[in-house]
């Protein structure tokens, strides 16, 4: 008896599947690294900087069992200002962490008007205000002082560019070399800018 193997090539149907991108946790890797850095600063008595909690109004809670509660509906009470604040060397620090996945520019749409206004108020009252921006494509971190952010922000309101080019970060922001402890040593850059 002779056995034959017949190989049949059927066409495969490729379906157009849209890749779903969940933007809810885009900045979590950066925030985790900053949180670890802040813990290092706190444990070594260098600075006291914390992540601000986001105020949430819980509307509906389900209790599937006696000891488990599941929040099924909640809303933000007020728009969040920035991610972090604290004190370092007697100066108030307030900043927001942003991740950028673009190659050529940081979209100003990633920053809300109330965040810019909050950072402006911090600066006006003598605090240190900035964005800490991760350029994920280049594995680079930059401290963008509020004055630079504000310049591009104000220009965008006058029908100017709606983003900050990568070249502007290279020329006008301060690179942060990531390390082991702390993972993102942004206070070294603060020392360089504000405490020379």
Tell me the per-residue pLDDT of 76-100, one tens digit each, with 9 for 90 and over: 776 778 999 999 999 999 999 999 9
> Does 159 sit behind a cis peptide bond, omega within 30 degrees of 0 on the bond before it?
no
Q: Please state the rounded mean pLDDT for residues 180-196.
A: 94
**Residue 177 maps to a domain:** yes
**Chain mean pLDDT for the chain:** 87
| Nearest alpha carbon to residue 115 among 82, 150, 164 | 82
Q: Which residue has the higher pLDDT, 171 or 57?
A: 171
**Residue 64 maps to a domain:** no
CATH of the domain at 32: 3.40.1350.10
**Residue 1 maps to a domain:** no
Count of structural domains within the chain: 1
Q: Please state the rounded mean pLDDT for residues 103-118.
A: 96
Angle, in degrees to the nearest 10, between helices 186-194 and 28-43: 70
Checking if the pLDDT of 24 tops 70, the result is no
Provide the domain limits for residue 164: 24-53+79-194
Cα–Cα distance, 91 to 28 (Å, whole number): 26
**Residue 7 maps to a domain:** no
**Residue 68 maps to a domain:** no
Q: What is the pLDDT of residues 41-75, one digit of tens each?
A: 999 999 999 998 877 788 888 888 777 888 888 87
Cα–Cα distance, 129 to 144 (Å, whole number): 9
């Amino acid at each position: 008896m002779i056995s034959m193997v017949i190989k049949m090539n059927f066409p495969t149907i490729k379906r157009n599947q849209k890749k779903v991108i969940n933007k809810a946790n885009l900045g979590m890797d950066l925030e985790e690294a900053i949180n670890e850095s802040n813990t290092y600063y706190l444990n070594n008595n260098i600075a006291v900087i914390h992540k601000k909690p986001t105020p949430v109004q819980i509307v509906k809670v389900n209790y599937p069992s006696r000891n488990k509660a599941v929040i099924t509906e909640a809303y933000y009470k007020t728009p969040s200002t920035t991610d972090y604040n604290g004190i370092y060397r007697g100066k108030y620090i307030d900043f927001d962490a942003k991740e950028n996945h673009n190659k050529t520019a940081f979209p100003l749409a990633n920053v809300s008007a109330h965040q810019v206004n909050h950072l402006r108020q911090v600066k006006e009252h003598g605090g240190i205000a900035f964005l800490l921006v991760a350029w994920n494509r280049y594995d680079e971190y930059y401290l963008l002082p509020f004055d630079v952010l504000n310049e591009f922000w104000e220009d965008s309101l006058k029908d100017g560019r709606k983003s900050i080019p990568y070249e502007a970060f290279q020329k006008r922001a301060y690179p942060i070399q990531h390390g082991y402890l702390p993972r993102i040593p942004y206070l070294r850059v603060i020392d360089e800018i504000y405490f020379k």
